[in-house]
Every structure is written in C-alpha cells, then in structure tokens.
A and B are shown apart, each in its own frame.
Chain A
C-alpha cells in the first residue's frame, strides 16, 4: 500500500470520514439537528467534488483489487446523488416520528460507502466485503422505525433472505476462487477464457458460478428470488424505501457489471439463455402482480421488480454480443434512480404526518388538494411508464434497441419488454386517475413539505425531464462508462 492507492480510493475514504464526522458532530452538539444535516450534506458535497476530480482518470489500487475507470466514476456519482436525495427526503419524515436523524444519516452514508466500493471492486473478496458493507446498514435502515411493527417485520424478512443470499454468493465465490486459483476479476476471466476455448468446464467451477449468479439475482430482486422485496419496501419508512429501491438495486447491477461482464465475459454465450429467461420472467411477473396492488408503496415495489427485468434485457443484449447493452444498463440505472426516488418521495410527502397510509385512496383528489405534488407524481409515474419525452422513455428505448440489434431470441425478448411496458401503464396511470378524477373519502390537509424536501423533489423532477429532453447529456457519460474490463 502507498499514498497513490489512497488517492485512487479517495471517494470511499472521504465517504467514511463523512459518516464518522456526522457521528462526532452529533456527539459534540447533541440536539442540534441543523448541524448534523449540514455536516451530512456538506460532506457529501465534498465526496461529490472528489469524484468529479477523478473523472477521466484511470488507475488501480492495492495490486489490482480496486480499479478506477469511467464506470467507477459514473456509479460513484449516482450513489452520492442517491445519498444526498435520501437525506433531503428523510428529514421531513424522520423528525415528526421522533427518530434520530444523525444515526439515519450516518448509517445511510456507510451503506453508500459500500456501494461506492462495489463500483470499483475488481476482486471477488473485496466485492463481497463491499456488498456486505452496503447491505448490512440497509437492514438497519429498513428497521429504523423500531417501534413500528411493519418496519421491523420488513427488516427481518429483508435481513433473513439477504444474508441467506450472501451465504449462497459466498459459497459460489469460494469455489470459483478455489478452482481458478485467483480472486482477481481479470484472473478469473483469463481462467474462464481457457475454459471457453477448451470446451469443457469443471463441475466445481460450474457449481460455483451457478451459486454466485443466484446470489446476485437475489440482490437485484430478480424473479424467482424476489420474495423479500414487497415486504421490505412496504414496511420501511418511506424515504428509506426510496433509498432501498435504488441504492442496493444499482449496487447489485454494479456487481453484475463487474462480475458477469468483467469476470464471466468469456462465457457470455453460455449464460445468455439464463439471463433471457430471468429478464422475461422478472418483468412479466413484476408487472402482473403490481396490477392488483392497492397500496402504492407495495405497487412501486413490484414495479421495481419489473424494472429489474428491463435492466436485465440490457445485460442479455450484452451477452448476445451487443456491447451497447452496457451503456443502456447505465442509462437505465441513472434514469430509474431519479424517477423512482421522486415517486417514493411524493408518497413520503403525503405520509409526513404520522398515521397517513400509503393506500391508493390517500391519492384521491391530490391533484386539487396539492397541485404541485400531484403534477410531480404524474411526471414520475409517466416517466416510469415510459412516455416520451421523459427519462424513462429513453431508458427503455436504449435497452430494447440494444436487444433488437443483438437479434435472435433477443428480438422476442424486446417485443416482450414492449408488451410489458404497455401493460405497466395500467397501474401507473391508475394512480394518476385517482389523483385527478376521484373525490377523496375524507378531506386531508395539504402536506407542506420543508425546504430541503422541495429541493430534492425539484432536482429529481428536473433530471427526469432533462434526461428525457436531452438524453445526449447522459449518454455521453454512459457510453464512456460502458467501456471497461470485459
């Protein structure tokens, strides 16, 4: 180890320091919530600056265990944005419920540190440790409202299935390492390239790869490994649901990029059928179950499963030989992050007063009661549906385009994705119908969220619209980030 290694992982180091600073400020100045929030937001601003300074640079640290490339910078930037938005949305929700804001911010920053470490990991063991650093604080956050039975119930289910899948992933890693003799992603790729050339694969290695894939599928909530998602999302405090629906999800796809593309790239023709089936089943089942949900949080949970399916279409396109599938995944990740966080944030705004449910009836008459919130929710839902000219449209378009270009069975998958997008319009637009065309059963007071919350909503909405009107802004970054390792 030397100082240049520290420079390469500077964003991760800075992020850990921010989390520590939040705890120290809370200890030194108890009951000064403004100081805590200012430390968290200012610190994350510094982390963002460090990430931007690294843009365009490349390098590796700790003997190749950590790589700095365009992909690392792109994903780091998304993760920091997620952390900032979660804090902006969280304050208004956490405070009326008497939950500690400093712990919330510190645990969140630790989780995001793990996600940032995943983004640059090119070593199996580092990847696993980074994954655990991301998900362990996630379990705590899910159960953050510890006197709320729903929150703890969602958390325990998230924890049990999450650590079960971690054990499966680790078992796979142990075999891959034991048989290829290396933990480096490029070393594994070289060993697998020999296998691909030779034609036969050792049973132990095949088993290891299968276990590893199942573990990753659990983390990204692909059907049939999705059972934890609805309860974890519905039970968690709503701003934390907003985080859980994007942070660990983009993190899981970061693992997929580093692992499937970086390490398993040479065997991609072999895992293509698996990804096609996973993508098809995931988006179809996610959408079908979402249609019958009356709770908007639960509906958005199933919708996030469907979006996993669409992102998997991009991975399938890569496996089918179309490299643009990777840029499509990254664009989808960025667009999905902002529109999905925005949608959950509107739910959080309505639930600002403790006791308000996330049932669809709460949305009746929102268009008249709270015209701004209603309009924002409509934008986010239309974007999630994939209506042009919003970010969600281009996200789906790029993924589907990459699949069509790859051809073969992927054309059928692209058609299925389009059918699914059309079917999904039903349950997204149902909320819009409630907001503008239904009379509320009881008159609710307009929820007037605080300044931080409004800034967060403004940022997510502007980005959702800007990525839709000028997708070239984002595609320049995603095209650069889509070229790495494999």
Chain B
C-alpha cells in the first residue's frame, strides 16, 4: 500500500468539504442531494482508510462502510421521492423558490 493514512484523510476531508460547499451553494434540490451523497461517500473513504492503515480496525471498517452505503441508498430513495412530489406541485427543482411559508 502506497501513501499514508494522513494523505487519505486529507483527500476524504477535501471531498467532504466539496460536498458541504455544494450543499450550501447549489439551489437545485437534485444537486443538493448529490452533494449529500458526496459527503456520505467521503465518510466512507475515511472509514475504509482507517481500516486499511490500522490493522485492529480492519473488520470494523468493512461493516461500517457497508452500513453507510445502505443508509445512503435509503436516504437517496426518500430524497428523490420527495423531490418528485414537490416537483409535481411546484414545477421547479429550485429550493429558493420554495418560500410559500416564510413571512
């Protein structure tokens, strides 16, 4: 294995930061959903990196990564269903136009 744990953690930290930025900067609900997926996958990279470089964590890491993938899939399902439901009502995916309740 080349590289060190730190370089993988920096990489996953950058991915997480890009996801966070995307979530905060994008107006499209689908893009925001993609940003959240990016954040969850950054977490997965962190988990797998810890598992690869710390021998005691190897089995843990595989299980946690699988659970995170399952949770991310469930979240994407619910999220896409909600985006479709609101698109039928509003005919727009842009979240800053969902402002009927703020006063």
Contacts and interface: CB of A to CB of B under 8 A. Distances in A.
Interface of A: 125, 128-129, 132, 136, 139-140, 143, 146-150, 152-157, 159-160, 163-164, 166-168, 170-171, 174-175, 177-178, 181, 183, 204, 230-231, 234-235, 294, 298
B75 A166 contact: yes
A150 B99 CA distance: 9
Contacts of A183: 60, 64
A250 to B, nearest CB: 22
Contact of A164 (B36, B46, B60, B88): B36
Given A156-B82, A177-B50, A149 B95 contact: no
Contacts of A136: 74-75, 78
19 contacts: A139-B79, A143-B82, A147-B89, A149-B86, A149-B89, A152-B82, A153-B100, A153-B101, A159-B82, A160-B23, A160-B32, A160-B95, A166-B71, A170-B43, A170-B68, A171-B42, A177-B47, A177-B64, A181-B56
Contacts of A157: 95, 98
A294 B67 CA distance: 44
Nearest to A171: B43
Contacts of B63: 125
A183 B51 CA distance: 13
A218 to B, nearest CB: 13
Contacts of A159: 78-79, 82
B102 A231 contact: yes
A170 B36 contact: no
A159 to B, nearest CB: 5
Contacts of A154: 101
B47 A178 contact: yes
Most buried by A among B67, B82, B88, B100: B82
Given A139-B78, A148-B89, A167-B16, 17 more contacts: A132-B75, A136-B75, A140-B78, A146-B88, A152-B85, A154-B101, A155-B86, A156-B29, A160-B32, A160-B79, A167-B39, A168-B39, A171-B43, A174-B43, A175-B46, A178-B50, A181-B56
A167 B29 contact: no
Contacts, number: 117
B77 to A, nearest CB: 9
B57 A178 contact: yes
Contact of B43 (A129, A146, A160, A167): A167
B78 A181 contact: no
B19 A163 contact: no
A231 B82 contact: no
Nearest to A131: B71
Contacts of B102: 231
A302 to B, nearest CB: 12
B79 A163 contact: yes
A239 B67 CA distance: 32
Contacts of A234: 101
B83 A167 contact: no
Contacts of A231: 101-102
Contact of A153 (B16, B23, B81, B98): B98
Nearest to A144: B85
Contact of B101 (A164, A177, A235): A235
A101 B77 CA distance: 22
B95 A125 contact: no
Nearest to A172: B43
Contacts of B54: 178, 181
B18 interface: no
Contact of B71 (A129, A164, A175): A129
A171 B39 contact: yes
A140 B77 CA distance: 11
A429 B39 CA distance: 44
